[in-house]
C-alpha cells in the first residue's frame, strides 16, 4: 500500500483538527483511499501546548521551512492563516514540488489567481475545500457536480458569527450590541469582530465562489460589502410581519454580460430554506440552469468540520498521486485558458426590490411628499405601512418597492432625508425573492 507523507503548518484550531483526524482515523482512511496517509511533521511556534489528545512530540518543529523542504513530504497542509508567512510557505512548497491544501480564504480571495497559476505551472494540486463553508462541499459541488450547468446564482449564509448574532436579535429582539457581546462571551465572535460583522470574511468566501462559478478573476474590491452592525430589532420585527427574515447573504448572479457580487443584510421570505438556517450554521443555495435550486447546509467553521474538508482534499490529492493524475481537476473549475474577465456590476446598477424604513412626523401630506420624491425617481411602491399613530411625533414608515435601480433609490433617499418631516437616516434593506405583497 502506498504511503503518502503529510506535513501540517500551523497547529491552531483547524490544524489540530487535521492532526487529530490523521492520527485517529488512519485505518478508516486507508480502507477508503487505499493509501496510508502518514503525518510526518507539524510546524508551530507552540510545540508544548496540550492539544487534548496524544501527539508524538517528535512530530513537532518550530521551523515551518523544514517541513516545506522535507524531501519525504508529499502534501503540505497550510493552516496558519493570514496573508504573509502563509503565502511564502505555500509558494515555497509549490516550488519544491509539494501538493498543497489550504483553508486560507483571505489569502485565496486576495491572491488566489496568482497562487493557482503558480500551482498549475508547477503541476501541483492546490486544494482549498476548507476555505469556504467548512464541511459543506461548496467547492466540490461547484467544480464537479454542477460541471454541466451554467451557474445562475449563488446565495449563501457563510459567516457563523453574523448568523449567530442575527438569530439572537431575531429570537430575543435585543440590540445588535447586546447580541455581539453575548456571541463574544460564548466564543462565537472574536474580541475584534470587524472581519466577521462587517462582512469581509463573507466577501472573501464569495470571491472564491465567483471564481469557481464563472471562471473569472474577481477583485475583492469589486464586491459590494455591507455588514450587519446597523440591523435593529425594529427592522427584524417589520421583516417578520411581512413574512421575511433578515440574513447576511453573499450573493452572486449572472446578469447579461456582468456578474452581481454583493454581501449585505438581506430580506428573504420566511419559507425560504435559508431563513431556517440559525445560529452558527451556514448554508448555500446554488442555482444551476439544469439543476434549479440546490442547497448545502452544515457547519461552516469549527475544528472538526473544517478538518473534515481538509481531509477530503487530502484524499483527492492522494488518489491523484496514486494514479499519476495530479492536475486532473483545474483549480478554478475551468481550464486555465478558459478563465475570462467578466465585469462585476457596480452596486449602483443593481436592480432589486427594497425595504425602506423612515421615521417621519405623523402629519397630513408627509406620505405624499415622500412617495412623490420616490415617484420622481421612477421608484414605484408595492406597499406602504405606517406603524402606530402619534400626532405630530415621528413614527416608523415602512415601504416595499417594486423593482428599482439602486442608484435611483439612493438619490431619492438623500432627497427624502433632507425633508424636515423625516428624522434620522432611512434604513435600506435589499430583498431577494420578494413575497409580492
Strands 2-9 and 35-43, by their bridges, are: parallel
Mark the segment that binds a copy of itself (CB under 8 A) among 184-192, 203-211, 243-251, 295-303: 295-303
Is 51 a binding residue for a copy of itself by CB under 8 A? The answer is no
Per DSSP, the residues of 152-199 read EEEEEE--HHHHHHHHHHHHH---HHHHHHHHHHTTSS-SS-HHHHTT
Q: How far is the CB of 304 from a copy of itself (least distance, A)?
A: 4
Is 3 a binding residue for a copy of itself by CB under 8 A? The answer is no
In the list 69, 92, 234, 295, the residue contacting a copy of itself (rule: CB under 8 A) is 295
Is 255 a binding residue for a copy of itself by CB under 8 A? The answer is no
Is 426 a binding residue for a copy of itself by CB under 8 A? The answer is no
CA distance 96 to 253: 38
Subset of 20-39 contacting a copy of itself (CB under 8 A)? 21, 25, 28-34
Q: How far is the CB of 305 from a copy of itself (least distance, A)?
A: 5
Q: How far is the CB of 393 from a copy of itself (least distance, A)?
A: 39
C-alpha cell at 7: 506535513
In the list 107, 333, 361, 416, the residue contacting a copy of itself (rule: CB under 8 A) is 333
Per-residue binding string, a copy of itself, 169-208, x by CB under 8 A, is: ----------------------------------------
In the list 298, 345, 406, 422, the residue contacting a copy of itself (rule: CB under 8 A) is 298
- Find cell 447576511 and name the residue: 248
- Find cell 460541471 and name the residue: 147
Q: Could you write out the three-class secondary structure of 125-141?
A: CEECHHHCCCCCCHHHH
The SS3 of residue 411 is helix
Instruction: Considering the complex, state which of residue 239 and residue 366 has its C-beta at the smaller distance from a copy of itself.
Output: 239
Subset of 204-233 contacting a copy of itself (CB under 8 A)? 215
CA distance 344 to 354: 21
Subset of 134-153 contacting a copy of itself (CB under 8 A)? 135-137, 140-141, 144-150
List of residues 6+ apart from 54 with CB closer than 8 A: none
C-alpha cell at 289: 440552469
CA 265 to chain centre: 13
CA distance 376 to 96: 63
Out of 87, 168, 205, 247, pick the active-site residue. 205
State the DSSP H helix or E strand holding residue 406, giving kind and residue range, or none if neither.
helix 406-417
Per-residue binding string, a copy of itself, 258-277, x by CB under 8 A, is: -------------x-x--xx
Is 121 a binding residue for a copy of itself by CB under 8 A? The answer is no
- Residue numbers in the known binding site for NADP(+) are 9-16
CA distance 41 to 268: 47
Is 243 a binding residue for a copy of itself by CB under 8 A? The answer is no
Strands 258-269 and 351-361, by their bridges, are: unpaired
Q: Is 205 a catalytic residue?
A: yes
Q: How far is the CB of 4 from a copy of itself (least distance, A)?
A: 13
Q: How far is CA 246 from CA 236, 268, 307, 367, 374, in A?
A: 6, 6, 30, 26, 24
- Find cell 413574512 and name the residue: 243
State the DSSP H helix or E strand holding residue 386, giving kind and residue range, or none if neither.
strand 381-386
Is 123 a binding residue for a copy of itself by CB under 8 A? The answer is no
Per-residue binding string, a copy of itself, 274-293, x by CB under 8 A, is: --xx-----x----x-xxxx
Q: Are 288 and 142 in contact (CB under 8 A)?
A: no
Q: How far is the CB of 66 from a copy of itself (least distance, A)?
A: 26
- Residue numbers in the known binding site for NADPH are 105
Mark the segment that binds a copy of itself (CB under 8 A) among 59-67, 257-265, 328-336, 429-437: 328-336
CA distance 216 to 233: 38
CA distance 114 to 427: 39
- Residue numbers in the known binding site are 9-16, 105, 190
Where in the sequence numbering do the catalytic residues fall?
205
Contacts with a copy of itself by CB under 8 A lie at 17, 21, 25, 28-34, 129, 135-137, 140-141, 144-150, 215, 271, 273, 276-277, 283, 288, 290-299, 304-305, 307-309, 311-312, 314-316, 319-320, 322-325, 327-330, 333-335, 338
Amino acid at each position: 500500500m502506498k504511503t503518502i507523507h503529510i506535513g501540517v503548518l500551523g497547529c491552531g484550531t483547524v490544524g489540530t483538527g487535521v492532526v487529530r483526524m490523521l492520527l485517529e482515523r488512519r485505518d478508516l482512511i486507508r480502507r477508503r483511499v487505499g493509501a496510508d496517509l502518514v503525518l510526518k511533521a507539524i510546524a508551530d511556534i507552540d510545540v508544548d501546548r496540550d492539544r487534548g489528545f496524544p501527539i508524538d512530540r517528535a512530530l513537532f518543529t518550530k521551523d515551518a521551512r523544514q517541513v516545506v523542504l522535507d524531501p519525504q513530504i508529499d502534501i503540505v497542509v497550510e493552516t496558519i492563516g493570514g496573508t504573509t508567512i502563509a503565502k511564502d510557505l505555500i509558494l515555497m512548497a509549490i516550488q519544491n514540488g509539494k501538493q498543497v491544501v489550504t483553508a486560507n480564504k483571505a489569502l485565496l480571495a486576495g491572491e488566489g489567481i496568482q497562487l493557482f497559476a503558480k500551482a498549475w505551472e508547477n503541476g501541483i494540486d492546490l486544494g482549498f475545500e476548507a476555505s469556504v463553508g467548512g464541511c459543506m462541499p461548496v467547492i466540490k459541488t461547484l467544480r464537479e457536480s454542477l460541471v454541466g450547468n451554467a451557474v445562475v446564482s449563488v446565495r449563501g449564509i457563510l459567516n457563523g458569527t453574523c448568523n449567530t448574532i442575527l438569530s439572537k436579535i431575531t429570537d430575543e429582539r435585543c440590540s445588535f450590541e447586546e447580541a455581539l457581546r453575548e456571541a463574544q462571551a460564548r466564543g462565537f465572535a472574536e474580541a475584534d469582530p470587524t472581519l466577521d460583522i462587517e462582512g469581509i470574511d463573507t466577501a472573501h468566501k464569495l470571491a472564491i465562489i465567483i471564481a469557481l462559478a464563472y471562471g473569472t478573476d474577481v477583485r475583492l474590491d469589486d464586491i459590494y460589502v455591507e455588514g450587519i452592525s446597523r440591523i435593529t430589532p425594529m427592522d427584524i420585527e417589520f421583516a417578520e410581519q411581512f413574512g421575511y427574515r433578515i440574513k447576511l447573504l453573499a450573493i452572486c448572479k449572472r446578469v447579461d454580460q456582468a456578474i452581481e457580487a454583493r454581501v449585505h443584510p438581506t430580506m428573504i421570505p420566511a419559507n425560504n430554506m435559508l431563513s431556517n438556517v440559525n445560529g452558527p450554521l451556514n448554508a448555500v443555495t446554488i442555482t444551476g440552469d439544469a439543476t434549479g435550486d440546490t442547497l448545502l447546509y452544515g457547519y461552516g467553521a469549527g475544528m472538526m468540520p473544517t478538518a473534515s474538508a481538509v481531509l477530503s482534499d487530502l484524499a483527492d490529492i492522494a488518489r491523484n498521486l496514486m494514479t499519476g493524475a495530479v492536475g486532473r481537476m483545474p483549480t478554478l473549475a475551468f481550464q486555465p485558458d478558459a478563465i475570462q474577465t467578466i465585469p462585476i456590476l457596480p452596486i449602483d446598477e443593481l436592480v432589486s426590490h427594497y425595504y425602506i424604513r423612515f421615521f417621519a412626523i405623523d402629519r397630513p401630506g408627509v406620505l405624499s411628499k415622500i412617495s412623490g420624491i420616490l415617484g420622481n425617481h421612477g421608484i414605484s411602491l408595492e406597499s406602504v405601512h405606517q406603524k402606530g399613530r402619534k400626532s405630530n411625533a415621528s413614527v416608523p414608515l415602512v415601504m416595499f418597492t417594486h423593482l428599482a435601480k439602486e442608484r435611483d433609490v439612493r438619490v431619492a433617499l438623500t432627497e427624502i432625508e433632507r425633508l424636515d418631516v423625516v428624522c434620522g437616516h432611512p434604513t435600506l434593506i435589499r430583498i431577494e425573492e420578494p413575497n409580492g405583497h
